[in-house]
Structure formats: C-alpha cells, structure tokens
C-alpha cells in the first residue's frame, strides 16, 4: 500500500514504446549505479510543517502563523490582487529561524509571508501580485503588524505553525528521468528509484500528515510544470483543518524566478 501511494506521489513511469529499430537493453550495473549516484546528488532538504497542535501565543506576531497575525514593513498595505481588485488574505507566515534546519533557498531571509485571493480560480499560473503575493524580509526588527490579527477573519482559521521535521527528498520521476542513462529510465525494474532509502515509511508519514513543505522538490500530481528559470521554494497542500481547498485534494507550489515569484496549482 505504501509503495503504491509513494509511486503516485513521486510519479509513475510512462509506458515505453519500443520498436525493433530502437530496442532498449537491460541496464548494466554501472548504469544503475550512475542512476543511484545521480539520485543522491539531486536529493534536497525538505522541512515539514503542521498547523495548530500547540498553544497559540495570540499577541506574538513574530512567529510562524497560518491564516493571520502577520507582520509587514512600515508603510506596506495588505496586497490587492491586480486581477480582481480584491484584498488578499494572509495564508502562511514563515519565521525562518524557527525551522529545524534551513533549506539553502531560505538563506539570507528572516521572514516570508504568503497572501492569496481566496476567491480566485486562477492560481494555476499566478504571478506575484496577481492571485497571490509573496513578501520576504531579511530583518524582523523593523516589522509591524499587518492585516488580520488572531481570529479576526472568518475566512481562514488562525493557527500557529509548528515545524515538525526535516528529511531529504528525492525528485519526482518526471524531474528525474532525463538525469539517468536511457536504459535505466526505460527498464522495467524501477526499485532503485521507487524503493530508494528516501522513499521511506518516515517520509511517507511526513508527506501524508503535514500540509506545508519547504524546500525539497515539488510533489506534482498531474505532472511536472516548472516555470521558466524557476527555483522551487515551497508547497502548500489543501487542508480541511486550515480551510484551504485547492481543487480536488490539490496543492500549490511557489517558485522564485529571476524577475519575481510565480505560483502553480495542481489537483486530482
């Protein structure tokens, strides 16, 4: 059961159409080892977060929050969606020094806030300021309260975010297949990938229980959909507890690009 779930999580191999003119050979042990080594090179640190699960410090905005109690720079306003004209809602605030480990993408950052137009149907390809907004800060000291406080809005519940654990995460199959020898990618034996030491019971528990994932690799549902020159930062999964619904049990993925930030949405 766990193996089946993990294969759906990190992608499945598309059937290879072999022809008599281009047959694929069984991979050699050297090719398999090359694939395993590349998998180790591509594994990235992921941090898993939960909402709630501890007593909230209602008056402490300088911590990680879900649904409100955010900070911002002096003079900043609640972001307005450029497409709809609606004020955006505070969804996730990340205080970076609270993380059990710091993914490389978060170096130099002290706080990140993520806002969304919760009524928008266009999260699939939003850009910063259009359907969502990301704001990042390198210093906590000058920040001031911004937006809804603790339980001041009925749209999302307000919860402290608890950073649960860290693990190395391998890429999904679609982000991996071009990184290995062709004979390995086309082989029927895929245990080296789907039963790797990264695809463990512990990793399965983290992915299935916690709706926030920082760093690592995007866990695509329908297929890889990276923005051009995008650097993956984090993933938020649909959550009943947090009252965030992203299609049919979907996820949204946030990327840093050379110009700004972009968001992608995926669902079943």
pLDDT band of 66, cuts 50, 70, 90:
very high
CA separation (Å) from 30 to 35, 36, 184, 228, 249?
9, 10, 10, 33, 40
Residue 19 falls inside a structural domain: no
Q: Is residue 13 part of a domain?
A: no
Provide the residue range defining the domain that includes 43.
27-266
Confidence of residue 1 (pLDDT cuts 50, 70, 90): very low
Q: Residue 228: inside a domain, yes or no?
A: yes
Residue 74 lies in a domain: yes
Q: With respect to residue 77, please indicate whether it lies within any of the assigned structural domains.
A: yes
Closest CA to 32 of 195, 186, 180: 180
Examine residue 237 and state whether it is found in any structural domain, yes or no: yes
| Structure confidence by residue, pLDDT tens digits, 74-119 | 999 999 999 899 999 999 999 999 999 999 999 999 999 999 999 8
Given a contact cutoff of 8 angstroms between Cβ atoms, the answer to whether 147 and 61 are in contact is: no
**CATH number where 136 lies:** 2.30.320.10
pLDDT digits (tens, 9 = 90+) for 201-238: 999 999 999 999 999 999 998 888 899 899 999 999 99
Q: Is residue 4 part of a domain?
A: no
Residue 6 lies in a domain: no
pLDDT at 92: 98
Kindly indicate the confidence band of residue 23, based on its pLDDT and cuts at 50, 70 and 90. low
Q: Is 29 helix (H, G, I), strand (E, B) or coil?
A: helix
- Report how far residue 224's alpha carbon sits from residue 172's, in angstroms, rounded to the nearest whole number: 8
User: Which pTM value belongs to this model?
Assistant: 0.90
Residue 16, pLDDT score: 46
Domain count, the chain: 1
């Amino acid at each position: 059961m766990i193996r089946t779930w993990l294969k759906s999580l990190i992608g499945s191999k598309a059937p290879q159409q072999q022809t008599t003119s281009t047959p694929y050979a069984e991979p050699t042990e050297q090719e398999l080892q090359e694939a395993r080594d590349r998998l180790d090179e591509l594994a990235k640190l992921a941090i898993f977060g939960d909402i709630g699960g501890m007593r909230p410090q209602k008056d402490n905005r300088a911590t990680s929050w879900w649904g409100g109690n955010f900070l911002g720079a002096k003079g900043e306003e609640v972001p307005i969606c450029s497409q709809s004209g609606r004020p955006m809602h505070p969804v996730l605030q990340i205080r970076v020094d609270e993380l059990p480990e710091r993914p490389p993408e978060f170096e130099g950052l002290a706080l990140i806030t993520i806002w969304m137009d919760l009524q928008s149907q266009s999260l699939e390809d939003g850009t910063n300021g259009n359907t969502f907004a990301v704001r990042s800060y390198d210093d906590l000291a000058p920040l001031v309260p911004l937006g809804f406080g603790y339980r001041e809005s009925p749209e999302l519940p307000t919860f402290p975010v608890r950073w649960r654990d860290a693990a190395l995460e391998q890429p999904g199959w679609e982000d991996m297949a071009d990184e290995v020898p062709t004979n390995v990618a086309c082989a029927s034996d895929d245990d080296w990938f789907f039963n790797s030491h990264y695809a463990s019971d512990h990793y399965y528990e983290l992915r299935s229980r916690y709706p926030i994932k920082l760093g690592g690799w995007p866990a695509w549902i329908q297929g890889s959909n990276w923005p051009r020159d995008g650097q993956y930062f984090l993933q938020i999964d649909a959550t009943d507890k947090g009252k965030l619904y992203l299609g049919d049990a979907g996820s949204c993925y946030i990327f840093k690009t050379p110009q700004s930030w972009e968001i992608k949405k995926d669902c079943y």
